[in-house]
Amino acid sequence: MIKVLDIRIEKTTSPKEKPDANHLDFGALFTDHMFVMDYDINKGWYNPRIEPYQPLTLDPSAMVFHYGQEMFEGMKAYKGVHNEVLLFRPEKNIERTNKTNDRICIPKIDEEDMLQAIRTFVDLEKDWIPEADGTALYIRPFIIATDPYLGVRPSNTYKFMIIACPVGAYYTEGINPVKIWVETEFVRAVPGGVGEAKTGGNYAASIKAQMKAKERGYTQVLWLDGVERKFVEEVGTMNVFFKIDGEIITPELTGSILAGVTRNSVIELLNQWNQKVTERRITIDEIYEAHKEGLLEEVFGTGTAAVISPVGELNYNGNIITINNNEIGPLSQQIYDTITGIQTGAIEDTFGWTLKV
Ligand SMILES: *Cc1c(COP(=O)(O)O)cnc(C)c1O
């Protein structure tokens, strides 16, 4: 028997004006509707619906406000070259949802149901997908604990929601490398903690270091491991790759690193190109050493928002190094062009990564 969600749709009677795709702030403007589904320990997930985008009414004692039992995902829908609507590896985000849920003690969501919810919602909002090069509709599924209760335990009730916002091109005048502050005081995650779960607490814990980097003129921080503070983990809210003497290295997933969909796509792409990728622990000293020997060729972050974000400068305890003359490297550019090409259908998808809505 095929189980299908019976999604009730209530359309807005006052649709918003679509924004100018050339002037979009990331995450500041939302589409006309939202998907909502409730959970109750006695009923499971129930009442899937799409409603006009609107504020929620929640009890001030709702558990999410106090102990942060929540999860979120981030993915994009693209207007393809033939005007079709394309999702990029949504099954990966769905799989990760349930991994996060497991860690945060949120009940699992049926994978087919979640995919159907995303497709139905995106299809309804498809006129919101901007069409200019590099633009997309950013999709934010999330779950919050809603029990009105101040005791510490898993909630018995939850809300699963999907909201979306049109996002402009991340890069408008070519890809600019960013300056990165290597953070030695604050850490993002520790083994056994929630670093590999996509949950808000990780972000709350990271803001202070981000501010510190900003004050010093840096765009983001490079996170070191929480125990020895020498192994590189992530860059800002992205995974990180290094090209050293022809070899591509990315930190292995040791439990405190978020397993990015883009990270995985970059590894699979490089494997297809017969480029050696090594997933292993790598220290910041090894990276500085490689730079000293002239072997550090490229450094880049990977994530849904930017796809590839080249690193042009690192500052570690006042030692500043410049990477690839502060320009995007050829490999970073090639990966960026290929992945964004696949996402919009401009390049043939031999991986089966895209899904038509
Ligand atoms: C979401 C996220 C990433 C990137 O994951 P993608 O699936 O590639 O978007 C990397 N690090 C952190 C901490 C994240 O939250």
Q: pLDDT of 260-319, one tens digit each?
A: 999 999 999 999 999 989 999 999 999 999 999 999 999 999 999 999 999 999 999 999
Selected residue with higher pLDDT from 151 and 2: 151
Selected residue with higher pLDDT from 276 and 241: 241
Q: 233 and 180 in contact (C-beta within 8 Å)?
A: no
Give the up-direction half-sphere exposure of residue 261: CA atoms within 13 A in the CB hemisphere: 24
Q: What is the pLDDT of residue 174?
A: 72
191, β-bridge pairs: none
Mutate to test the pocket of ligand 1, among 232, 304, 335 (most ligand atoms within 8 A of CB): 304
Number of H helices, E strands in the chain: 7, 18
Q: What is the pLDDT of residue 51?
A: 98
Q: What is the pLDDT of residue 1?
A: 46
How far does the centroid of ligand 1 lie from the alpha carbon of residue 263, in Å?
A: 8
Q: 240 and 299 in contact (C-beta within 8 Å)?
A: yes
Chain-centre distance for alpha carbon 28: 17
pLDDT, tens digit, for every residue of 205-230?
A: 999 999 999 999 999 999 999 999 99
339 contact partners, CB below 8 Å, separation of at least 6: 262, 265, 266, 269, 307, 308
Assess whether the C-beta atom of 237 lies below 6 angstroms from ligand 1: yes
What are the domain boundaries of the chain? 8-168, 178-344
DSSP reduced 3-state for 139 = strand
- Mean pLDDT of all residues in the chain? 95
Assess whether the C-beta atom of 304 lies below 6 angstroms from ligand 1: yes
User: Cα dist. 152→61, 63, 68, 135, 145 in Å?
Assistant: 12, 8, 11, 42, 12
Alpha helices, DSSP H only, in 190-346? 200-215, 261-272, 284-292, 330-343
Assess whether the C-beta atom of 303 lies below 6 angstroms from ligand 1: yes
Q: What is the mean pLDDT of residues 128-138?
A: 91
How far does the centroid of ligand 1 lie from the alpha carbon of residue 14, in Å?
A: 34
Assess whether the C-beta atom of 305 lies below 6 angstroms from ligand 1: no
User: Cα dist. 166→163, 182, 188, 264, 306 in Å?
Assistant: 11, 32, 29, 25, 14
Q: What is the pLDDT of residue 133?
A: 83
- Fold for domain 178-344? D-amino Acid Aminotransferase; Chain A, domain 2 (3.20.10)
Q: What is the mean pLDDT of residues 143-151?
A: 98
Q: What is the pLDDT of residue 20?
A: 84
Q: What is the mean pLDDT of residues 339-348?
A: 95
Q: What is the pLDDT of residue 173?
A: 67
How far does the centroid of ligand 1 lie from the alpha carbon of residue 306, in Å?
A: 11
346 contact partners, CB below 8 Å, separation of at least 6: 81, 340
Assess whether the C-beta atom of 63 lies below 6 angstroms from ligand 1: no
Task: Give nearest CA residue, ligand 1 atom 6.
Answer: 260
User: Cα dist. 74→169, 310, 351 in Å?
Assistant: 16, 21, 21
**H/E element holding 99?**
helix 90-104
Assess whether the C-beta atom of 50 lies below 6 angstroms from ligand 1: no
Give the sign of the dihedral formed by CA 78, CA 50, CA 258, CA 169: positive
Mutate to test the pocket of ligand 1, among 237, 257, 267 (most ligand atoms within 8 A of CB): 237
Q: What is the pLDDT of residue 76?
A: 97
Q: What is the pLDDT of residue 134?
A: 85
How far does the centroid of ligand 1 lie from the alpha carbon of residue 267, in Å?
A: 15
Q: What is the pLDDT of residue 60?
A: 98
Task: Give nearest CA residue, ligand 1 atom 10.
Answer: 238
- Fold for domain 8-168? D-amino Acid Aminotransferase; Chain A, domain 1 (3.30.470)
Token couple for 77: 């829908």
The neighbour count for residue 254, using CB atoms within 10 Å, is 16
CA 72 – CA 247 distance, rounded (Å)? 33
Q: 103 and 198 in contact (C-beta within 8 Å)?
A: no
How far does the centroid of ligand 1 lie from the alpha carbon of residue 3, in Å?
A: 31
Q: What is the mean pLDDT of residues 15-31?
A: 87
Q: What is the mean pLDDT of residues 241-250?
A: 98
**Which of ligand 1's atoms lies nearest the C-alpha of 96?**
7
Q: What is the pLDDT of residue 3?
A: 63
Q: What is the pLDDT of residue 2?
A: 54
